[in-house]
Structure 1
Amino acid sequence: MQQLVPDEAHDRIDINPIGFSDPLRWLWRGLRDMASQPLISLFYGVCFWLMALILLAVFKSNPEYTLSAVSGCLLIGPFLAMGLYDVSMHMERGEPPSMGSSLTCWESHIRSMSMLIMVMVVMELLWGRASLVVFAVFFNSAGMPTTATVLEAVFNPQNWEFVAAYICVGGFFAGLVFASMMVSIPMILDRDTDAITACITSLRVFVDHTAVSVFWGLLITVLVVLAMLPSAAGLLVVGPWLGFASWHAYRAAVRVTAAGAS
């Protein structure tokens, strides 16, 4: 167990050991939370589904604006996720969760959340810039890409350099975002931690348990990809399910002891 002691806070942060069976346990507990709160789960599921439909519509009609649409989702997504964490947190404490509390839980953490979202948007902008470079160097097409030309490039064996470069660049930034956000948002909700401490803690969880974290990320990716077929309707279930499960991932990986507590 590795111990972290932030300079600005006196709370002791311990990184707990986790194994490969733990992500499956988080999914089970998330499913249990979702089943116990069907109306709240449905509300958030619809929100995630609508976000996915907007992204799909933008990609089909104007793919050059897809990254801008993703930026908008990055502004909304963390607040939706925090609402789900709030529900799981109240149930864990034996308190009745409510829709009102889940929708307003971010208000007392607005400074930390704003900083965290700013970091996410900066990383997404860097990701977008790197993607444009990949398109400029490897994408063999005149003018702005369209849905047809992008899909043609992906499935054309002659464009393997473009596909490989895009996967490498996208994988790097996706991994960086995942490592930074793995436990940061639930930690802000649970302990009112500042964004920097929360991100550092999340990165330490990823570094200390890289294999398990990658396995957890792959599970999330597979479930999201399956949920996107067809018409992203699976997000009605998978969206809130992963939100609840992510709270349990945080609780299993991080233990915070208040200053002065034994």
Structure 2
Amino acid sequence: MEPQALQRSSLPKLQINRLRMHDIRQAFADGWRDFRTYPSFGLFFGAIYAFGGIFIAVMLTSYHLPWMIIPVAIGFPLIGPFVAVGLYEISRRHQQGESINWKAVLAEVFRQRERQLSWMAFVVLFIFWIWIYQIRLLMALFLGFRIPATLDAFAQVVLTTPEGLLFLAIGTIVGAVLATILFSAIVIAMPLLLDHDVDFVTAMLTSMRTVIENPVPMLTFGLFVAGLAIIALVPLFLGLLVVLPVAGHATWHLYRRAITAT
């Protein structure tokens, strides 16, 4: 059995470290370095995410649901950590001095189907669907049957009517709460599950404790990633080609600074 396999099969004792804003800046710097060092890998995983977003937008338009593009686009980054698993593996191998090649990285990504990471998919998708359905509920409550058939008309109703502005305000608050809960549950859990064979409940609780014990730096990291992701959505999701891999690598380095496993 390989040394790394032995390491992952053990049950580690997890210690949460105190983080400072310097750690956040350094995590992004290390993430940018990893992207520049292995750009083909980053662009590959970023392309999966970007073209997935384009496909969803096209499908919503073809089914005459263009008004769903905005909430889906905002919620779409919530599933980013699953695409980023390959990026975590690249950063892990770089830190460990292991060889980095397509076969090894993709094999590790596919291996996650047999591990606890697959259970995290249910958690993320469940919260994503809560986000979508609460948007539909709020639209029904505030806009009733006046939901426009085009994206331009929807934006005009939301931004120029009292009902639309109230819908936008409450939807933003509810979305921020859901996003904070999900971010707290997965930001550390995802790379931890890749790095060690712990159960997904332990990983989620460790992630939440990390955010609770380091609220300012962790939430700053989340807000910065969310802001970059939203900006990256504007040019037809293509900005995610760079933003997603940098954020993925940065998340790995943040995890390594936040958690010490013994």
TM-score normalised by length of structure 2 = 0.85
For the pair 1:43 / 2:44, whether they are aligned, the reply is yes
8 Å contact from structure 2 (residues 77, 229) kept in 1? no
For residue 173 of structure 1, report the CA deviation from its aligned partner: 0.8
Q: Return the alpha-carbon distance in structure 2 between the equivalents of residues 210 and 50 of structure 1.
A: 33
Q: Which residue of 2 aligns with 1:134?
A: 138
Q: Which residue of 2 aligns with 1:147?
A: 151
Give the alignment partner of residue 235 of structure 1, picking from 235, 240, 246: 240
SS at match of 1:230: coil
Structure 2, unmatched stretches of 5+, are: 1-9
Letter in 2 for 1:86: E
For residue 151 of structure 1, report the CA deviation from its aligned partner: 1.2
Distance verdict in 2 for CA 1:79–1:127, change over 3 Å? closer
Distance verdict in 2 for CA 1:139–1:89, change over 3 Å? same
For the pair 1:212 / 2:212, whether they are aligned, the reply is no
Higher RCO, 1 vs 2 (CA within 8 Å, ≥6 residues apart): 2
- Give aligned pairs, total: 248
Q: Which residue of 1 aligns with 2:33?
A: 32
Letter in 2 for 1:109: Q
Give the alignment partner of residue 89 of structure 1, picking from 89, 92, 95: 92
Identity across matched positions, percent: 28
- Offset from partner CA, 1:172-229 (integer Å, 9 cap, x none): 1111111111111110110122111111111111111111111101110121122223
For residue 232 of structure 1, report the CA deviation from its aligned partner: 2.2
Give the alignment partner of residue 226 of structure 1, picking from 231, 255, 258: 231
RMSD over aligned CA atoms reads: 2.6
Q: Which residue of 2 aligns with 1:121?
A: 125
For the pair 1:57 / 2:61, whether they are aligned, the reply is no
Q: Return the alpha-carbon distance in structure 2 between the equivalents of residues 215 and 76 of structure 1.
A: 19
Residues 42-51 or 11-20, more deviating? 42-51
Q: Which residue of 2 aligns with 1:18?
A: 19
Q: Return the alpha-carbon distance in structure 2 between the equivalents of residues 157 and 20 of structure 1.
A: 40
- Offset from partner CA, 1:145-184 (integer Å, 9 cap, x none): 6423431233225232111111011111111111111111
8 Å contact from structure 1 (residues 16, 252) kept in 2? yes
Structure 1, unmatched stretches of 5+, are: 1-8, 258-262
8 Å contact from structure 2 (residues 67, 151) kept in 1? no
Q: How does 1:57-76 map to 2 (within 5 A)?
A: 57-61=58-62, 62-63=65-66
For residue 64 of structure 1, report the CA deviation from its aligned partner: 6.6
